[in-house]
Amino acid sequence: MKPTRVRYGVVGFALSLAILAYVQRVAISQAAGPISADLGLDKVEMGLIFGAFGLSYALFEIPMGLLGDKLGVRRVLAQIVILWSFFTALTGAAWNLTSMWIIRFLFGAGEAGCFPNLTRMLTQWLPRGERVKAQALMWASTRWGAAVTPPLVLVGITLFGWRWAFVIFGLMGVVWALFFLSRFKERPQDNPKVNEAELALLAESQALVTQEHGGWLQLLLKPQALLLMVQYFCWSYVWYFFVTWMPTYLGEAWGQSAAETAGLSVLPLFMGGAGSLVSGMIPLRVPRRLVAIGAFIAVGSLLLIIPQATNVGVAIALLAAISFSGDLSVPISWNTCVEMGKRYTATMGASMNMFANFSGFLAPVVGGMILADATKSWNFMLYVMAGVAFFGAFCWLFIKVPEPDPEPDLVVAPAL
């Protein structure tokens, strides 16, 4: 009997939510100008608002990952998508620094657990080799979702103003959640469209997400797990520049208009998606740890070169190369979470993502402080990011990555 392909519809759900999550997350970076002008915010205050998302996202990651491992991803994902979409829409109602900070903090709490639970969903619905490729596709989708956001937000602000643009983005999440609840089943065996051959194909994956190897806290305190979390912090520290300060950098350092900034911001984010996709296509015989080390070294080196750029085209090309290089490590990191986490896949992923979003809080706040210091500049911010990237390469020297076995190529079908 030929296996059915119901699992590819699950991949469709993962990809569409990944895009939606990043559209809603990145929108505020392009809207920073009108928001600052409307609410009377300076760079330090805007940095605090950028950081509010990362702080709450980090704090709520492990609880949401534990909920996904305990209650199942269907219930948890539907609830958090509706929750974060509500606060996305509520962003348009902010009237000062405090209200905006609180709304962004609660928005981050809503998005916490999204990708750890998507990782668990893909783990239990895909055989191992297909999961590696699906993770690469999912993270490529996040970057491409972020890439289309600047022009999308610019159109929304032009037509409706920044307040109503956030309301529209919030409604998109509610539509996704309702469709997901009506079509997705937690386990393959609960879906009547899955035949016996597809169930047999997924038997190993089902065993993986039920395999016990000690408690979740014991898992998270292992040196290998801690190193995995720290290296993800390092790349996220750099990556958050693209979705927070980059539009401001292009405007101030290179004199670009809002429209020019929106157009230029697309390339680095698009190339990040390409990096994730290429990561999933690298032959399995190539050690994943070496790919990650090379990616971090490239990021640090390119950041040191940017201050020598002679025009905005060169600067954007270097930023695009940084985004591509760094995102080579992202699917590797998430698949390593699965191999380490097993029964606690969502919890392991949540813990790694928690570290990433502590950097999401720290990086924009530190950036705002650097820019507020008259003795420092954008170049100083880039040098700090380079140092963090080199430390990420150092961490990967000691991480052992379980290498996946070859599986049939993944063919992605439309969502159910």
Locate 344 and state its tokens: 């606690």
Q: Residue 16 pLDDT more than 80?
A: yes
| Confidence at residue 2, expressed as pLDDT on a 0 to 100 scale | 87
Residue 235 located in a structural domain: yes
21, 114 in Cβ contact below 8 A? yes
From residue 255, how far is each of 41, 249, 287, 335 by CA, in Å?
21, 9, 43, 41
Residue 409 located in a structural domain: no
Over residues 185-209, the mean pLDDT reads 82
Q: Residue 281 pLDDT more than 80?
A: yes
Distance (Å, rounded) from C-alpha 396 to C-alpha 323?
Answer: 18
Q: Of 22-31, 292-301, 390-399, which range is least confident?
A: 22-31
pLDDT (tens digit per residue) in 343-393: 777 788 788 888 887 887 788 888 888 888 766 788 999 999 999 999 999
* More confident: 136 or 174: 174
Q: Residue 408 pLDDT more than 50?
A: no
Alpha carbon of residue 10 to chain centroid: 19
- Residue 111 main-chain phi, psi, to 5 deg: -75, -15
* More confident: 119 or 235: 235
Over residues 136-153, the mean pLDDT reads 81
Residue 1 located in a structural domain: no
CATH number of the domain enclosing 179: 1.20.1250.20
User: Tokens 């620094």 map to which residue?
Assistant: 97
pLDDT (tens digit per residue) in 90-134: 999 999 999 999 999 999 888 888 888 898 898 888 887 788 788
Q: Residue 10 pLDDT more than 80?
A: yes
Distance (Å, rounded) from C-alpha 103 to C-alpha 90?
Answer: 7
Distance (Å, rounded) from C-alpha 100 to C-alpha 68?
Answer: 29
Q: Residue 398 pLDDT more than 70?
A: yes
Over residues 8-33, the mean pLDDT reads 86
Label residue 210 by pLDDT band (50, 70, 90): low
Residue 410 located in a structural domain: no
| Confidence at residue 209, expressed as pLDDT on a 0 to 100 scale | 65
Distance (Å, rounded) from C-alpha 66 to C-alpha 74?
Answer: 14
| Confidence at residue 407, expressed as pLDDT on a 0 to 100 scale | 46
| Confidence at residue 384, expressed as pLDDT on a 0 to 100 scale | 94
Q: Of 6-10, 86-90, 241-245, 316-320, which range is least confident?
A: 241-245
Label residue 290 by pLDDT band (50, 70, 90): very high
Label residue 342 by pLDDT band (50, 70, 90): confident
Q: What is the 3-state secondary structure (H, E, C) of 183-244?
A: HCCCCHHHCCCCCHHHHHHCHHHHHHCCCCCCCHHHHHCCHHHHHHHHHHHHHHHHHHHHHC
Q: Residue 307 pLDDT more than 80?
A: yes
| Confidence at residue 387, expressed as pLDDT on a 0 to 100 scale | 96
| Confidence at residue 214, expressed as pLDDT on a 0 to 100 scale | 59
Tell me the average pLDDT of the chain.
85
pLDDT (tens digit per residue) in 35-64: 998 998 887 888 888 888 878 888 888 888
Residue 412 located in a structural domain: no
Per DSSP, 405 falls in state P
Residue 141 located in a structural domain: yes
> pTM of the predicted model, to two decimals?
0.73
For residue 163, the enclosing domain spans 6-396
Label residue 414 by pLDDT band (50, 70, 90): very low
Distance (Å, rounded) from C-alpha 59 to C-alpha 70?
Answer: 19
Residue 415 located in a structural domain: no
Share above pLDDT 70 across residues of the chain, in percent, rounded to a whole number: 93
Locate 153 and state its tokens: 């937000």
Over residues 327-353, the mean pLDDT reads 82
* More confident: 416 or 142: 142
Share above pLDDT 90 across residues of the chain, in percent, rounded to a whole number: 32
Distance (Å, rounded) from C-alpha 209 to C-alpha 69?
Answer: 9
Over residues 191-203, the mean pLDDT reads 86
Four-residue CA torsion sign, 175, 146, 330, 287: positive
Please tell me the total count of domains within the chain: 1
| Confidence at residue 416, expressed as pLDDT on a 0 to 100 scale | 32
